[in-house]
C-alpha cells in the first residue's frame, strides 16, 4: 500500500534541511521516513544508477528531533 506522509511536498523546511545536509528534497524525505519508525521500510523507485546512489545516500542523513518535527 503506498504511503506518502509528506505528500511529496517541497516545503521551505525541507529545502532548508536539504541545504543543511547537502541533500536533495527526495533524500530528506527518505531520511524522514527512515527515522519515523524502525519498522517502516521505504521502497523508492529508481530508474538509474545515479538515482540508486542518491537513494542510498539518504540513509546517511541523520535528522535530529527538531528537524524531524519540522517536516510533520
* Span 39-53, pLDDT tens digits: 878 888 888 999 999
Torsion of CA 15, 22, 5, 2, to 10 degrees: 130
Domain assignment present for residue 4? The answer is no
Domain assignment present for residue 19? The answer is yes
Domain assignment present for residue 72? The answer is no
Domain assignment present for residue 7? The answer is no
Cell reading at 40: 517502516
CB atoms within 10 A of CB 44: 15
Angle between helices 12-21 and 25-36 (to 10 degrees): 90
* Span 16-66, pLDDT tens digits: 999 999 999 889 989 998 998 888 788 888 889 999 999 999 999 999 999
Q: What is the largest CA-CA distance in the chain?
A: 33
Number of compact structural domains in the chain? 1
Domain assignment present for residue 3? The answer is no
Range of the domain at 40: 12-67
In a 13 Å sphere around the CA of 12, the CA atoms on its Cβ side amount to: 0
Domain assignment present for residue 16? The answer is yes
Amino acid at each position: 500500500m503506498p504511503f506518502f506522509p509528506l505528500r511529496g511536498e517541497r516545503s521551505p523546511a525541507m529545502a532548508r534541511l536539504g541545504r543543511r545536509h547537502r541533500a536533495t528534497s527526495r533524500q530528506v524525505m527518505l531520511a524522514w521516513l527512515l527515522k519515523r519508525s524502525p519498522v517502516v521500510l521505504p521502497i523508492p523507485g529508481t530508474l538509474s544508477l545515479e538515482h540508486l546512489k542518491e537513494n542510498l545516500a539518504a540513509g546517511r542523513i541523520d535528522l535530529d528531533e527538531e528537524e524531524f518535527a519540522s517536516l510533520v
